[in-house]
Amino acid sequence: MAATLTAGAPARPRKRLASRRTRVGILYALPVVVYLLVLFVYPIFSTLLLSLKDADGSFTLHWYADALTGVNLSVLLTTLRISAETAVLSLVFGFVLAQAITRLKPILAGLAMLVVVVPHFVSALVRTYGWIIMLGDKGLVNETLTSMSVPGAPFQLLYNELGVVIGTTSMMLPYTVLLLYGVMRGVDRRLLAAASSMGAGKVTIFRRIYLPLVAPGLASAGLLSFILSLGYYITPALMGGPDQTMIATLINQQVTKENQWNGAAAQGVILLVLTLAGLLLVKVVTSLGASRKKRSAT
Amino acid sequence: MMELRKSLAGRIALTAVATVILLFLALPIVVILVTSFSNNAFASFPPETWTLNWYKALFADGSKWPAALSLSALIAALSTVFSLIIGVTAATALVRSELPLRSAVFALVLGPLVIPQIVTALGLFLFFEPAAMLGSPIAIALGHTVLASPIAVLILIATLRGIDERLEDAAASMGAGRLTIARKITFPLAAPGMIAAAIFSFITSFDEFYISQFLSSVDTVTLPVQVYNSLTFEIDPSVTAVSAILIAFAILALGLVALVRWIGSGRQESLLSVENTVGVANPGGEAV
């Protein structure tokens, strides 16, 4: 009797404490859950419903058919193309810059990171305007090129695809630099030293050891900047011409100018599906990378 | 990689390319700051003569900028308050309690950060339009909170994780009630994180464009929407001065966050310093 008492007594309060902690957790989680369910999940859900509804309220897929044919299809393809170009460029620039920063002295590296991070917190609208000033016929870039008497200067750098890609790349670059810097810092340098001690050349080490180790990070950084570019609106609208209309611009036009909500909803859903597919791919790549890292460490 | 391309030429080439990329990031901002003082406000660089006219024009009669600025500030203040309430409760639930479906809640919080903002904005437009709330500052603030609150939650999660829970336990063991612990231990230690969360929520709302544009009406034009309009429809040279002010705000805000963080890190250290001296006096003691 005494034994069961001493064994049972400490378990009970702990259990009560645990259930109290659960109740407190649910109570505190309520505001964020309710808020986002009402103002984030439900609106997206009703967008989905609207994209499947005809004018008389019956079920239809013709908004999707519209969105995937003619001009709308070419806008979708333009969006994918510009996003891909942006992803590749921001990946290459990000790789070089992150690589250079890992080799700097701590103080200089900190300063360089500041130059990477601060622009990210300046409104994209403002940075886009900065590019418009710089890339104009009499802007800094063309003036410099003309004074160096580069043949063909001044160039048309605005209101075409080059302008858009320059703009979007500079918006995505902070993301790729930060991601790749983290990945590069995580590379176990002893693996490189081991390869070198066994006689591997520099190129071999880079190709066979370093690149496979950072590859998952490269893939997810590239995918992420691709996904983020898909929904971009400000820079393509301000720095591009009519041929650089992206899907977000189209959604905006249909809502604010043409009152074509169903069509806009269908395009929003397409954008959403593309984004989610990309995120899934990021997840697959990161888990692949994690298993590879584990293997190389053992 | 250290061993790779050790040659001086390679190093110089890499440094040069890296410098160009850093310029690529910094120049658009520098150019705006310089041009805002230039006599020829459009697309001419470097400026030939200097002036403060664009800044003066901001506050001239009939200027749309003061109204846009105060509307944006009001909306940002509202959504900062909403985000902080949501952020503090959500971070407490996610870090300091046993929450069923915790990963689902966390995924919900991350949602607005990864879904294209234009999709969120479209959904909010369809949500507020039937309620005849388009153009209402409250609606815009509620919309901005969808984007700002996840950021506040993430910052506050990191803040709560960084607070040594043993300090709270120690206070409890000495008989402090839960309210006293929250007021005298947790709140002072979490204050820097809360200020950072508030600043980032404010910036997020202040700079937000997509939701503002979808939910705005002729009378409620936020600052970013006004900037966008004056870059597309009406040519207004004061936009350069506004942009320069926005840059100054952003840098100031980041500086403030850094300062608060620095002060905050000193505070917890001083509280924990007792423990550190114990560790020195008792080197064989259990390492925590």
**Could you read off the pLDDT of B59-99 as tens digits, one per residue?**
888 788 999 999 999 999 999 999 999 999 999 999 988 88
In this prediction, what percent of chain A has a pLDDT beyond 70?
93
Q: Give B253's contacts in chain A (Cβ within 8 Å).
A: 121
**pLDDT value at residue A8:** 45
Do residue B29 and residue A272 have CB atoms under 8 angstroms apart?
Answer: no
Check residue B2 and give its pLDDT. 47
CA distance B115 to chain A (A): 7
Distance from CA of B189 to the nearest CA of A (A): 20
Q: Look at B98 and A18 and tell me if their CB atoms are within 8 Å.
A: yes
What mean pLDDT is reported for chain B?
86
Q: What does the DSSP assignment read for A27-40? A: HHHHHHHHHHIIII
Q: Do A44 and B115 touch (CB under 8 A)?
A: yes
**pLDDT > 90: percent of chain A:** 53
**Whether A92 contacts chain B with CB within 8 A:** no
B176/A44: higher pLDDT: A44
In terms of average pLDDT, the best of A19-28, B3-12, B25-34 is: B25-34
Structure tokens at B69: 């600025």
A:14-43 residues touching chain B, CB 8 A cutoff: 18, 21-22, 24-33, 35-37, 39-43
**Domain membership flag for residue A12:** no
Which of the residue ranges A128-132, A198-202, B267-271 would you say has the lowest mean pLDDT? B267-271
Alpha-carbon distance A1 to nearest alpha carbon in chain B (angstroms): 31
Give the domain CATH number at A260: 1.10.3720.10
The C-alpha angle with vertex A243 and arms to A240 and A245, in degrees rounded to 5, equals 65
Residue type, A158: L
Contacts of A92 in chain B (CB under 8 A): none
pLDDT band at B235 (very low <50, low <70, confident <90, very high): low
Q: What is the pLDDT of residues A109-134, one digit of tens each?
A: 999 999 999 999 999 999 999 999 89
Interval B268-276 mean pLDDT: 63
Q: Give chain A positions within 8 Å (CB) of B42.
A: 133, 136
CA gap B283, B175 in Å, rounded: 29
Domain assignment present for residue A40? The answer is: no
How many independent structural domains does chain A possess? 1
- Residue B238 banded pLDDT, cuts 50, 70, 90: confident
B89 → closest Cβ in A31, A137, A189: A31
Please check whether residue A47 lies inside any domain of the structure. no
Give per-residue pLDDT as tens, B109-139. 999 998 999 999 999 999 999 988 889 999 9
Q: How far is A138 from chain B (nearest CA, A)?
A: 6
Q: Do B253 and A227 touch (CB under 8 A)?
A: no
Q: Give the separation between CA B146 and CA B94, rounded to whole angstroms.
A: 18
The answer to whether the Cβ–Cβ distance between B100 and A26 falls below 8 Å is yes
- The residue ranges of every structural domain in chain B are 67-269
- Taking a C-beta distance cutoff of 8 angstroms, is the pair A197, A112 a contact? no
Q: Is A230 within the bounds of a domain?
A: yes
- Give the pLDDT of residue B188: 86
More confident residue, B162 or A30: A30
Query: What b-and-e string marks burial along B181-207, b requiring 16 or more CB atoms within 10 Å of the CB?
Result: beeebbeebbebbbbbbbbbbbbbbbb
Contacts of residue A140, defined as CB under 8 A and 6 or more positions apart, other chains included, come to A133, A134, B27, B31, B45, B46
Residue A6 lies in a domain: no
pLDDT band at B287 (very low <50, low <70, confident <90, very high): very low
Print the domain residue range for A89: 63-297
Could you tell me the pTM of the whole model?
0.88
Provide ipTM, 2 decimals: 0.88
CB B141 within 8 Å of CB B204: no
Measured CA to CA, the distance from residue B46 to residue A119 in angstroms comes to 21
Q: What is the CATH superfamily name and number for domain B67-269?
A: MetI-like (1.10.3720.10)
Is A44 in contact with B123 (Cβ distance < 8 A)? yes
Q: What is the mean pLDDT of residues A61-83?
A: 92
A46 touches chain B (CB under 8 A): yes
- How far, in Å, CA of A235 to CA of B116, rounded? 15
By CA distance, what is B22's nearest residue in A?
A115
With a cut of 90, say whether residue B194 has pLDDT above it: yes
Q: Is residue A177 part of a domain?
A: yes
Determine whether the interchain pair B1/A184 forms a contact, defined as Cβ–Cβ distance below 8 Å.
yes
CB contact A188 to B (< 8 Å): no
Q: B50 to chain A, minimum CA–CA distance in Å? A: 17
Residue A57 lies in a domain: no
How far A251 CA lies from chain B's nearest CA (Å)?
Answer: 8
Checking if the pLDDT of B274 tops 90, the result is no
